[in-house]
Amino acid sequence: MTLARLLRTKPTERIVAEGGHGEGGELRRTMSLWQLTLFSVGATLGTGIFVILGQAVPKAGPAVVLAFGLAAITALFSALSYAELAGTIPVAGSSYSYAYATLGELVAWVCGWCLMLEYAVSVAAVAVGWGEYLNAFLRALPGFTLPDAITHSPGQGGGVVNVTAILIVLLTTWLLLYGASESATANAVFVLIKVAVLLFFCVVAFTAFSSGNLAPFAPMGIAGITAAASQVFFSYIGFDAASTAGEEARNPRRDLPLAIILSLAVVTAVYVLVAVAAVGAMPWTDFDPEGTEAGLSHIAGLATGATWPGLVVSFGAVIAIASVVLTVIYGQTRILFAMSRDGLIPRVFQRVNPRRQVPVANTLLVALFISVLAGLVPLGQLAEATSIGTLFAFAIVNVGVLVLRYRSPELPRGFRVPFFPATPVLGAILCVVVMAGLAGVTWLAFGLWMLAGLFCYFAYGYGHSRLNAEVS
């Protein structure tokens, strides 16, 4: 075992040539720019805006609007780097494949392992919350509530098995097994519904808008705005979802970069509009950081003096979670597909059903693992550690742009990062800065996850790597 072998890169041309191929069949190129964009919007525009707004407003006051803008700029640097690499290496592995082409196998493995944490654990955490939002929706209907035993994890609020979390995972898995195009269509419907619900909230909230609620605009000053920006940054995670569909996009070099940038623009516009409507309709001092689950529903009810607008907003939250679960499970399976094709994980993950042209076994195994996590395991700090995993992957992508631009300037690129090299350098620095602000216990959970990942690589991945087999 040598350091040179651990850091050996896989030629970009080879990664692209292998794209779409797996054992038993090929992935089908059916996804349009519209579907790819909505995939990223679906993964990003989730429960964050329904929950995190109530937590961020007490930190920044009405200036939370600027916090969303600042967080969007922070995400934009990494989004531009994703756009360049997605247009250069249009394959299923997202940042895992980009790292393999630029920084070597060990870094690629670590990046893929981080993505497993980001996707599997975060979607389990989101699925856990689905039962609570479903109950909030049902509570508005006369006399119907699901029991705590099936809507909470064991040991939390009387929970036995979180059946609702398992249910939403199984429903989205059923959609994914039909095929990528069918899944993209279902996601498009989900996304349009939740965007419509959020626009409905804005219309309702603006009927109670008062300019007096915006004064003082920044009661906590710049420090409050930056603190709120660090918190709301995580509601932008997910814009990279389109990059996992690199082998099922019709025109990947053109459409993947556009989908990533367009999705970030759409999400930012929705977030800022909702934030303006919310702080204009209710004094910022009335926002309760502890009671955020029904924050937007509460504002809609106050604005109209009726219960039905809150019911509509709660329904939007239920749909938002379904969309996130669908797109994130999809992304997880495609990253595992790429890792399996390279030999780093078992071959079962790259087997494509020749009739449906989807990795059926891969999808079922991922759904089983997430169902167990969501239904039986209180996730706690591990769910928060997904933030570090995501930021680490973002930093790798920014560095990858620098490496590939200097090492292989002749490669065809569907998009080029503007203001190179300043943009990827700033993107990497901002990721490290945000990571540094996370809690120590979150770092501990992440460190333990990384140790487990290195053990798995040296126990299985290193010995089965196709690239290492060729060197031997």
- Here the tokens at position 354 are 């020749």
CA distances from 395 to 165, 377, 454 (A): 31, 30, 19
354 φ, ψ to 5°?
Answer: -65, -25
**Residue (of 165, 172, 126) closest to 149 by Cα position:** 165
Tokens of 442: 């979150």
Q: What was the pLDDT predicted at 382?
A: 64
Handedness of CA 259, 319, 322, 268 (dihedral sign): positive
Q: How many CB atoms lie within 10 A of CB 327?
A: 32
Q: CA nearest 120: which of 362, 284, 347? A: 362
Do 148 and 131 contact (CB within 8 A), yes or no?
no
Spans in the chain with pLDDT lower than 50: 292-293
Dihedral of CA atoms 403, 409, 414, 419 in degrees, nearest 10, equals: 70
pLDDT at 1: 58
In DSSP notation, 190-217 reads HHHHHHHHHHHHHHHHHTT--GGGG-SS
Closest by alpha carbon to 240, among 376, 115, 417? 115
Q: How far apart are the first and last CA of the chain?
A: 11
What phi and psi values does residue 248 have, to the nearest 5 degrees?
-125, 10
Helix (H) or strand (E) holding 385: helix 381-407
Residues in Cβ contact with 233 at an 8 Å cutoff, skipping those fewer than 6 apart: 71, 74, 75, 434
Element (H, E) at 22: strand 21-22
Sign of the alpha-carbon dihedral angle for 197, 200, 205, 208: negative
- Entry pTM: 0.90
Q: Which two tokens stand for residue 210?
A: 């008062």
Closest CA to 411 of 426, 421, 400: 400
**Residue-level pLDDT at 363:** 93
Q: What HEC string does 1-34 produce? A: CCHHHHCCCCCHHHHHHHCCEEECEECCCCECHH
CATH dotted code for 30-465: 1.20.1740.10
Alpha-carbon span 318 to 326, nearest angstrom? 13
pLDDT of 170 reads 93
Q: From 39, 316, 44, 331, select the one nearest 186 (Cα to Cα).
A: 39
Q: For residues 449 and 461, what is the distance between their CA atoms, to the nearest angstrom? A: 16
On whether the CB atoms of residues 464 and 350 are closer than 8 A, the answer is no
- Sequence-distant (6+) residues with CB within 8 A of 326 are 42, 172, 175, 176, 183, 186, 187, 190
Give the amino acid at 163: V
- State residue 20's pLDDT score: 62
How many other C-beta atoms are found inside a 10 Å radius of the C-beta of residue 112?
27
